[in-house]
Structure 1
Amino acid sequence: MGDGSEPKRDCALDVRAMAGFGRKLFDFDWDLTHSRDLERMNDGKIGHPFVFSDALIAWIVLLRTVLKTSYRLMLGIANHFIESSGLRPISLTQLYDRCNSLELDIGSDGRFLAFGRGNARPKPHPITVALDATGVSLNKYGGWLAHKWDRKKVSGWVKLHVAVDVDTDEILAFVVTDEKVGDISCTERLMDLVMAAGHDVGVLLADAGYDSKGNWNRYSRMGIRVCININSTQVSEKHAAKYPSLIRSHGCVVRGNHMRRILEVGRDQWKSENGYNMRWKVECTFSDLKRMLLDILRARTRWNCVRETLNKVLAHNMYKNIRVGMKGA
């Protein structure tokens, strides 16, 4: 959808999708290929052979992320299913080490702590992509701890920058940074990841934090319809309306044309005409992610914070994929 309409949320579908997501978590298939996976992993390995496949460990990581449990509690849950499959139980040390050594399909570059593609499948038609960022708190203390130990502040946060398919709320690409990195610096990396994953982007929506001549020109030249909320502080709309000749393209004709249209019909009408009103769907994505998986990170080290953030993204997309399948059924 990109016509600016705002459909009502289907709560009944949400309930069915969440129930289906819960069933999917325990409908594991790692045991079907466990022996074959171990044979491949141990081929040429020096030292002790692997006893538990990466697929099994990935399932445990996903389950721990969704259930928000400690490693000790996860040990009992995991071993219940592991022993039911005829395998010997995993120890706490093995569980911790394997979960934290599982390879992730992400990159890291300078100020970007991590970046990667979500596990969303490309659509057979052009999609509308919305960009935005949200903060995820680190080690947030409850009221009693804050009172007893005088911990009145959280110890910072990381920022999760995302590109979202507004039709499905799936996260197509993400960048994890610290709190000092601005939104605009992540635009090119996010869009490169989206297009590298095979997604055909027809419309790009973003708020004023992404308003730059470079963004307007770069993606307009690619044939993408760009709709970024123009930063009104750069030009006084009241003053420019009185003196229209003040509006110059300054090397960005597309942005200049949009600015003139805003002055002609007003910002609200401009948003409706360009489908900008669908940008709010990215806020729904953040809301769903934080309500289901919480808006804090329990990890202590920076690398494990990145891991936990990525696991939240993958779990969120898994739920959304189930929801989309039920909606189309």
Structure 2
Amino acid sequence: DNRDWPAYNEGLVKVGEYLLDLEWVKGWYAELAHMNDGKVGAPYRFPKSLIELQVLWHTKSIPYRMIEGMTRSLSKLGKLPSYNNYSTTNRRANRLDYSLVPPDGQNLVLFSDGTGLQAVNGGEYLREKYGKKNRRWVQIVILGDPNTKEPVHFEVHLSPESETDSALRQMKHIIENGGNNIDSFGGDGAFDNMDLWDFLRDNDIEPAIKPDKSAREDTDNEIRNRHAKERKKSYRNWARKHRYGMRWPATEGIFSAIKRIFGETLRASSEIGMEKEASAKIWAYKRMRKYAKALN
């Protein structure tokens, strides 16, 4: 492992700082005024920044009732103007948008893969609803950047779906809504799908998808045919040429870090709760990395 260990360790320390960074409190009332400007119905009493901090704590497996106690203590110490109860936090957390904002104006290099988080309290509910023995796992499919080692986009599925279909939807969303170009896209053999190959060809995206050993070389997609021939001739040369080795830091490396920091389980029991809790782990990971980088 050739990583810079002093920098790595300091990054973890900075992530810890983020969990108690209260600089945003200076703008408490200004943020509330902005949130309530033109709002119909009861006004917000607590700024979004407070809810986001509490969500970060919750991703570390701290129950919302304990989070209420932590917030109350900070209020008593004069660090917060007031505190909210756990039900307010839970309700507001389930309404937050955890989608990621792709880097603006960049040509993206992306790899995709999927993983699962275990639904501890919602497992029986998932099995009863979807009728399968393996429905205790909530699926996450990401598009990751091997250069930043961060997720760029993701989807959460309570019932497992095709990773290929998910990757296609996500890339289309980025192209149509993000103002970004995708230079290349890669994935393991599970993504060796003709619809995906055709999409990459039609959008001038360089593929780094591992073809099957016995893949046909006479399809209607000449790019896929060329990859199949190269892979059969020498997998090592094919992988080196198309930078297939970048797949790990863009996918499995991200999943490993998220599970190490936030755990592999979900505590929520409702559909919306499980979906939001899984999404919050991805969102929090990127927020923490961004914070650590900003302090460098």
Give the equivalent residue in structure 2 for 1:53.
47
Which amino acid in structure 2 is aligned with residue 82 of structure 1?
Answer: S
Helix, strand or coil for the counterpart of 2:19? Answer: helix
Q: Does 1:279 align with 2:279?
A: no
Q: Does 1:126 align with 2:119?
A: no
CA gap 1:323/1:228 in 2 versus in 1, 3 angstroms: farther
Give the equivalent residue in structure 1 for 2:97.
104
Aligned match for 1:317, one of 286, 293, 296: 286
Aligned partners of 2:4 and 2:180: how far apart in 1? 26
CA gap 1:93/1:215 in 2 versus in 1, 3 angstroms: closer
Give the conservation status (yes or no) of the 8 Å contact 2:56–2:284. Answer: yes
Aligned match for 2:85, one of 86, 91, 106: 91
**How far 1:121 moved relative to its partner?**
3.2
Aligned partners of 1:216 and 1:95: how far apart in 2? 44
Aligned partners of 1:283 and 1:28: how far apart in 2? 32
Alignment of 1:140-289 (within 5 A): 156-195=136-175, 196-235=177-216, 247-248=217-218, 250-264=219-233, 266-281=234-249, 282-289=251-258
Larger Rg: 1
Identity of aligned residues (%): 22
Give the conservation status (yes or no) of the 8 Å contact 1:208–1:228. Answer: yes
Give the conservation status (yes or no) of the 8 Å contact 2:115–2:139. Answer: yes
Give the equivalent residue in structure 2 for 1:144.
none
CA gap 1:199/1:45 in 2 versus in 1, 3 angstroms: closer
Aligned partners of 1:98 and 1:258: how far apart in 2? 48
Give the conservation status (yes or no) of the 8 Å contact 1:205–1:228. Answer: yes
Give the conservation status (yes or no) of the 8 Å contact 2:185–2:208. Answer: yes
Give the equivalent residue in structure 2 for 1:146.
none
**How far 1:80 moved relative to its partner?**
2.4
Q: Which runs of 4+ in 1 moved over 6 A?
A: none
Aligned partners of 2:51 and 2:267: how far apart in 1? 19
CA gap 1:275/1:26 in 2 versus in 1, 3 angstroms: same
Aligned match for 1:294, one of 258, 263, 273: 263
Helix, strand or coil for the counterpart of 1:20? Answer: helix
Superposition TM-score, scaled by structure 2 size: 0.85
Give the equivalent residue in structure 1 for 2:127.
none
Count of matched residue positions in the alignment of Structure 1 and Structure 2: 283
Give the equivalent residue in structure 2 for 1:38.
32
Give the conservation status (yes or no) of the 8 Å contact 1:119–1:317. Answer: no
**How far 1:82 moved relative to its partner?**
3.3
Q: Does 1:139 align with 2:139?
A: no
User: What are structure 2's unaligned runs of at least 5 residues?
Assistant: 123-132
Superposition TM-score, scaled by structure 1 size: 0.77
